[in-house]
Structure 1
Amino acid sequence: MQFGDVIGQDHIKQKLIEEVNEGRIPHALLLCGNEGVGKLPLAIAYAQYICCTNKQSTDSCGTCPSCIKFKKLIHPDLHFMFPIVKNAKAKKEICDDYISDWRHFLEKMPYMSINNWLNELQAENSQAIIYARESDEIIRKLSLKSSEGGHKVSIIWLPERMHVVCANKLLKLLEEPPQKTIFILVSENPEMILPTILSRTQRLNIPRIEESCIANTLQTKYAIASADAQNIAHTANGSFVKALDAIHLNEEKRLFFDLFVSLMRLSYQRKIKEMKIWSESVAAMGREKQKNMLDYCQQMIRENFIFNLKQKDLTYLTIDEENFAKRFSPFVNEKNVIGIMNELSQAQRDIEQNVNAKMVFFDFSLKMIVLLKQ
C-alpha cells in the first residue's frame, strides 16, 4: 500500500516522508486516532516507503521488488501482530496461523474495524486479544537478520488488546530494539496501553478525514452521486469505516438501531416483562457485539442530545436515526444525559469484566425508566 492509496491525511503523509528522508525514523511509532481514520493504511504505507529501494519525493515507487512484495503484504521483513481468537481444534493459536486470512482481508478492506475482523474470524462469543505466546514469536522473528538487508518492521494493530505478559515482553524489546528494527503501534485506545510502553514510543495523533476527501473517494471509487456522497461523508464524521457502513448493508448496525429503539420505548412504557426478554436477547450475543452495541447506544444518546439542542449541523445521524430522533430527542436533555451516559459506561465496564450480561442489561434497562422521566 502506498501513501497515494491512503484517503486524505496529506499533512501526516508529508511528516512521515520527511522523517524518513531526514534520517529521523523513530524505533517505535504510535499512531493514535479514531476508528476509520486510516491509521493501519498509513502504517503499511510508511513501512513500504521505508523499505522502498527507489523512493520518490512523495511516495514509494511501487515497482521495485520490495514494493511489489508489500503490495501483496508478503515482504519477509514485514511482520504483523493483531488480535485473534484461539482455535484449539484448528490449531490456530498465534497470529501467523491467521496470516493468510489477515492478508486477504486487509487487501480487500484496508479500512476496517475490529468488528469487521471478528466477523471474518467468526469469533462469536470470544473476545479477540494478542495472546502472551505472541511475544515469543515476535522476539524470534526480530532476532533474525533482515532478509533483504534493510529495516525490519513490526506493525502491531490494537496494542491495547495485548495480554499483559505479551506487553511486558514487548517493553523489553522497545528498550533494547534489534538493529534497524521499527515498531509501528496502531491504537484506538492508547490510554489502555501500559504507560511504560507509551513512554518509549513517539506518538502521532491521526485526525479525522476531511469530509471532502471522503466524498471524493465515494464518488470516484464507489460511483456514489455527489449529493449522496456529501451526506454520507458528513454522517461518517471523519471515519471511512462509517462511510462504508452507510453505503453497504450493515446488518449489525441495523440490529443495534432496532435494539436501541426497542429499549427506549419499552423503558418509557415501563413494560418490565418485555424489558427482561430484551435483556436476555442482548445477553445471548457475544461479548464483543455487546460492547459494540453499548458504544452505539452512547453515540445515539450524544446525537439525540445535540439534535434536541437544534444543532443539526453538529449531528451525524442516518435518515432512519434522524426520523427516530425527531420524536425521541426531547427525552434526552441536560437533566439526564450525563446519568444515561454514566450508566452506559458502567454497563460497558461490567461487560468487559465478564459480569453476567443478563443482569447488566436488565439493570440498565430498569434505570432507563427513571432517567427518561427526568
Structure 2
Amino acid sequence: MQFKEITGQETIKEQLLQTVAENRISHAQLFLSCEGSGALPLAIAYAQYINCLDKSPIDSCGVCSSCRKYERYIHPDLHFSYPFFASKDVRTAVDVLEEWRSMLLEDPYFDLDIWRSKLSAENKQANINIAECHDIIKKLSYKAFEGETKVLIMWLPEFLDKEGNALLKIIEEPPKNTLFILVANNQDQILSTLLSRTQIVKIPKLPDAVIENYLVENHGLDTHQAVEYSFLADGNLIEAKLLASNAQNDHADKFADWLRMGYGNRVADLIAFVEQAAGWGRENQKNFLKYGISFLRECSLLLSGAEELVKLPPRTLDTAKKLSAHVLNLNMAEAIISELEQAHYHIERNANPKILFLDVSLQLVKLIKFKTLPKGTQYIYS
C-alpha cells in the first residue's frame, strides 16, 4: 500500500516521510486514532516505504520486489498481529492469516465488527492471547529475510490482557532493525507498561470535506447526499462507506418531517411513516435513528447558544434553527435523543421495526405535542 492510496491525512504522511528522510525512526510506535481515520493503512504504507528499494521523497515506488510483496501482504519481513477468536483450530493469529490478508485486499478500512464477520466467532470474545505473544517473540528473533527492517504491525493492542507484558522486553530491547507499530483506538485500554515504551503518533479524524469528496468520487453520490453522510459519519470513513452502501435517503427531510408529525399530533401520517420505516431494512433503520441522534445533538448546541460549534450543512442548519425556535427545547431534545438511542439499541437486537417505530412515534407526540417529559425532568421552555 502506498501513501497516495490513503484518503486524507496529508500532514501525518509528511511527518512519517520526514522520520525516514532524517533517519529517526522510533523502533516502537503507537498510531492512535479514532475509528475509520486510516491508521492501519498508514502503518502499512509506512512499513512499505521504509523497505522500498527505490523510494522517492514522497512515496514508495510500488514496483520493486519489496513493494510488490507488500502490496499482497506476503513480504517475509512483514508480520501482523490482531485480535482473533481462539479455538482448537485457531491458537495464534497466523491460523487466520489468509482471512486477514483477504480482508486487507478487499478494503483496508475496517473495524472489529467487519473483521468478526469474516471469522467463525460464535459467542467467543476476541483477544490477543499469550500463545500469540510467544509467537511474536519467536518470529522477531529471526534475522530479516529480504528487507532491511522487520516490521510487526499489531492492530488493536487494547485486546492484549496482562499477557502482553511478555512482549515488554522485546519491545524495549528489540533485535536489530526491528520496527513495532501498534494501531489503537483507545489509549485508556492499553497496558500502561506498553504505552510507556512507545512513541505516540496521534492521527486525527478525517475532515468532513475529505469524506464528502471521497463519497462523491468513489460512490457516485450527489453533493447533498455526501454532505449528509459526512456529517453522520463524523470523520469515520468506515461508517461513511457503510452509509453509502445502504443509501436510502433523505434522512434529513424524513427526520424533520417525523418531528413535525409528532408536533402536529398527525396520527394518520405517523402510522403511514411507521409502515414506510418498517420496510427500509435494518441498516437503513439504524442509520436513520443515528442521523436523528446526531441532528438533535446539533440542535442542542443551538438551544445552548453555541451555534459556532454546529457542523450541520446549510440547508439542514436552516431546518434545525426553525425546529429549535418553534418546536424543541433543551430538555425535550435530550429526552428524544434518549428514546432514539434506546430504539437504535433494540433495532440492533432484531426488535420488530413496526412496533418499535410506532412506540417511538407515540413518544414523540407525548414529548413534543403534550410536553410530557420523563418523570423527574424539570421542563424548561425555549
TM-score greater than 0.5 by the shorter chain? yes
Partner of 2:112: 114
Residue 233 (1) aligns with residue 230 (2): yes
Who is 2:210 aligned against?
213
Q: What CA deviation, in whole Å up to 9, does each residue of 1:216-256 have, x standing for no partner?
A: 222222222233223322322111011112111399xxxxx
- Pair 1:307 & 2:299 matched: yes
Partners of 2:228 and 2:292 in 1: how far apart? 18
The DSSP-based 3-state class of the residue aligned with 2:126 is coil
Q: SS at 1:154's partner residue?
A: strand
Match of 2:152 in 1: 154
> For residue 261 of structure 2, what is the aligned residue in structure 1?
none
Higher alpha-carbon deviation: 42-51 or 222-231: 222-231
Tell me, yes or no, if structure 1 residue 70 matches structure 2 residue 70: yes
* Cα separation, partners in 2 of 1:329 and 1:59, compared to 1, 3 Å: farther
Give the aligned partner of residue 265 of structure 2. none
8 Å contact kept, 1:7–1:38: yes
Q: Which deviates the most, 302-311 or 75-84?
A: 302-311
The offset of 1:118, in angstroms, is 1.2
Task: Report deviation, 1:61.
Answer: 0.2
1:182 maps to which residue?
179
Q: 2: distance between equivalents of 1:336 and 1:248?
A: 27
**Does the CA-based 8 Å contact 2:205-2:235 persist in structure 1?**
yes
Structure 1 residues 329 and 71, CA gap change in structure 2 (3 angstroms): farther
Task: Find the aligned partners of 2:376 and 2:35 in 1 and give their Cα distance.
Answer: 30
Q: CA separation of 1:170/1:331 partners in 2, compared to 1, >3 Å: closer, same or farther? A: same
Corresponding residue for residue 279 of structure 1: none
SS in 1 for 2:193: helix
Q: Kindly indicate whether the alpha-carbon contact (under 8 Å) linking 2:149 and 2:178 is maintained by their aligned counterparts in 1.
A: yes
Q: Describe the shift of the 1:371–1:100 C-alpha distance in structure 2 as closer, same or farther (beyond 3 A).
A: farther
| Distance in 1 of aligned mates of 2:247 and 2:120 | 16
Cα RMSD over matched residues?
A: 3.5
Instruction: Name the CA shift for 1:306/1:2 in 2 (closer, same or farther; >3 Å).
Output: same
Partner SS state of residue 185, structure 1:
strand
Residue 135 to residue 209, structure 1, CA distance change in 2 (3 Å): same
Alignment of 1:290-305 (within 5 A): 304-305=296-297
Cα 1:299–1:164 shift into 2, 3 Å: farther
Q: Deviations over 1:117-149 (max 9, x none)?
A: 112224243221111110110001000110114
Asked whether the equivalents of residues 79 and 153 of structure 1 are also in contact (C-alpha less than 8 Å), the reply is yes
Query: With structure 2 as the length reference, what TM-score do the two structures score?
Result: 0.70
Q: Name the CA distance, whole Å, in 2 between partners of 1:99 and 1:128.
A: 15
Distance 2:87 2:144 in 1: 31
Q: What are structure 1's unaligned runs of at least 5 residues?
A: 252-292, 348-367
Q: How many matched pairs?
A: 301
Residue pair 2:301, 2:309 contacting (<8 A) in 1 also: no
Partner AA of 1:109 in structure 2: D
Cα distance in 2, alignment partners of residues 16 and 155 from structure 1: 15
CA change 1:249–1:373 in 2 (3 A) is: farther
Question: What do residues 166-188 of structure 1 show as CA deviations (whole Å, max 9, x unaligned)?
Answer: x1011121111111000000000
Cα shift at 1:194: 1.4
Query: Any conservation in 2 of the 1:304–1:332 contact (CA below 8 Å)?
Result: no
Deviations 1:324-374 (A, max 9, x none): x9989855567999xx7xx99xx9xxxxxxxxxxxxxxxxxxxx9647687
Pair 1:223–1:26, CA change in 2 (3 A): same
1:262-311 alpha-carbon deviations (Å, 9 max, x no partner) = xxxxxxxxxxxxxxxxxxxxxxxxxxxxxxx9xx9999767534323435
Alpha-carbon distance in 1 for matches of 2:336, 2:245? 34
Residues 167-214 of structure 1: per-residue CA shift (max 9 Å, x gap): 101112111111100000000001111112111111011011122222
1:197: which partner in 2? Answer: 194
Structure 2 partner of 1:261: none
Distance change >3 Å, CA 72–CA 328, structure 1 → 2: farther
Q: Secondary structure at the match of 2:118?
A: helix
**Whole-angstrom distance in 1 between the partners of 2:179 and 2:157:** 15
Letter in 2 for 1:231: E
Which whole-Å CA distance do the structure 2 matches of 1:126 and 1:329 have between them?
Answer: 44
State which of 152, 167, 171 in structure 2 corresponds to 1:170: 167
Specify the code of the residue in structure 2 equivalent to 1:246: L
> How many percent of aligned residue pairs carry the same amino acid?
38
* TM-score, reference length from structure 1: 0.71
User: How does 1:1-374 map onto structure 2 within 5 Å?
Assistant: 1-88=1-88, 91-165=89-163, 167-249=164-246, 304-310=296-302, 314=310, 331=331, 370=375
Quick check: 2:298–2:312 contact (8 Å CA) kept in 1?
no
From the superposition, tell whether residues 369 and 117 of structure 1 become closer, same or farther in structure 2 (CA, over 3 Å). farther
> Is 1:232–1:243's contact at 8 Å kept on the other side of the alignment?
yes
In structure 1, distance between residues paired with 2:208 and 2:176: 41
**Deviation of residue 44 (structure 1)?**
0.3
Q: Against the structure 1 CA distance between its residues 224 and 132, is the aligned structure 2 distance closer, same or farther, given a 3 Å change threshold? A: same
